[in-house]
Amino acid sequence: MTSSASTPALIALDWGTTSLRAYLLGADGLALDTRASSAGIMKLPTGGFDQAFEETCGAWLDVHAQLPVIAAGMVGSAQGWIEAPYVETPAGAEALVAGIVNVKTARGVTVHVVPGVLERGALPNVMRGEETQIFGALASDASLQGQGGALIGLPGTHAKWAFVSDARIERFYTFMTGEAFGALRDHTILGRTMHPSATHDEAAFQRGVDTARDAGHPGVLATIFSTRTLGLTGQLSAEQQADYLSGLLIGHELRGLNEVLARQQSSLTGRTLRLIGNDALCDRYRAALARFGCHDAATVAHATERGLYRIAAQAGLVPQPHAPVRAA
């Protein structure tokens, strides 16, 4: 195999609950081609994992039959293609590599499945897929590997906040912010007075963030009711209520994170951190973080494919990247 960046070196899969993203990666860890499918592990076609894999990656393998294949995400869960048991914190890339479990496809190709990470304790936490993105962020941003450790946020259905030091995931938290927002909007009285809006209302969003941030309320179970009562009293239009509720929930998440930081004599104020996720959602979090005094929270691009490449390289499936990869 050559190591030219334009020659395919790896097929990398980000295989979650509701979607499958496939990357054909060159030896620099960047994508030469990509495929997206709705065949998440809970939405598989009739032929199951094998059929979803063939539909997404078959054409690549027809041309490049010897390419190694790596996968991360819920595909390695107990409900996945094969279970790759969790690796426990503190977890570095070498521990993830040691935890890789292989499954052979109908075509005879070996898929290397990366395990998730488990943090034990009174409130256990688990991740599957985010660990790979975190190592992708570390690979692309040398500033995250300095002293004192890094804080990386992964907004989403189940938002994660991970503390990383010495290239290991030391501990992390899960906030069900995205899923709670959907459940409250679609399945409680709060949704009844909301009208959809084509545009994002930044003022309503920031009002929600500020309300959650400031002391003087008895917690999120109480503040969310103000989505309705500010409407009843003419202070929030029907079109503003969804953005206000979104700001409230993200604000409560950041307030909780700030309380964790306070126990380490730290704070979001003035802090440097990194975000991984879709651009629109990361923009919301960046705006919310600014309300907490954090103004250095760039989104890391290509974290998923870079993380998959890095773990594959550490596992000896592909050459090490030519040079330290920089954020795009």
Residues that bind a second copy (CB under 8 A): 118, 120, 122-126, 158, 173-177, 179-180, 182-184, 186-190, 211, 216-226, 229-230, 232-233, 235, 249, 252-253, 255-257, 259-260, 263
Which CB sits closer to a second copy, 40 or 319? 40
- Is 285 in contact with 275 (CB distance < 8 Å)? yes
What is the Rg, in whole angstroms, of the alpha carbon atoms belonging to the chain? 21
Question: Residue 34 or 79: which CB sits closer to a second copy?
Answer: 79
Q: How far is CA 92 from CA 97, 111, 317, in A?
A: 9, 21, 18
Q: Find out whether the peptide bond into 90 is cis, omega within 30 degrees of 0.
A: yes
Beta carbon nearer to a second copy, 31 or 220: 220
3-state secondary structure at position 263: coil
CB of residue 138 to a second copy, shortest distance in Å: 23
CA distance readout (Å), 304 to 25, 125, 259, 277, 278: 11, 20, 29, 9, 11
Is residue 129 within 8 A of residue 14, CB to CB? The reply is: yes
Helix axes 241-262, 177-187, angle to 10 degrees: 150
Q: How far is the CB of 222 from a second copy (least distance, A)?
A: 5
User: What's the CA gap between 241 and 245, in Å, rounded?
Assistant: 6
Q: Which is nearer to a second copy, 175 or 309 (CB)?
A: 175
What are 134's two structure tokens? 């975190």
Shortest Å distance, C-beta 191 to a second copy: 10
Residues 6+ apart with CB under 8 A from 225: none
| Residue nearer to a second copy on the CB measure, 222 or 323 | 222
Instruction: Provide the minimum distance between the beta carbon of 163 and a second copy in the complex, in angstroms, as a whole number.
Output: 12
Q: Which is nearer to a second copy, 104 or 217 (CB)?
A: 217
Q: How far is the CB of 2 from a second copy (least distance, A)?
A: 43
User: Could you tell me the smallest distance in angstroms from the CB atom of residue 185 to a second copy?
Assistant: 9
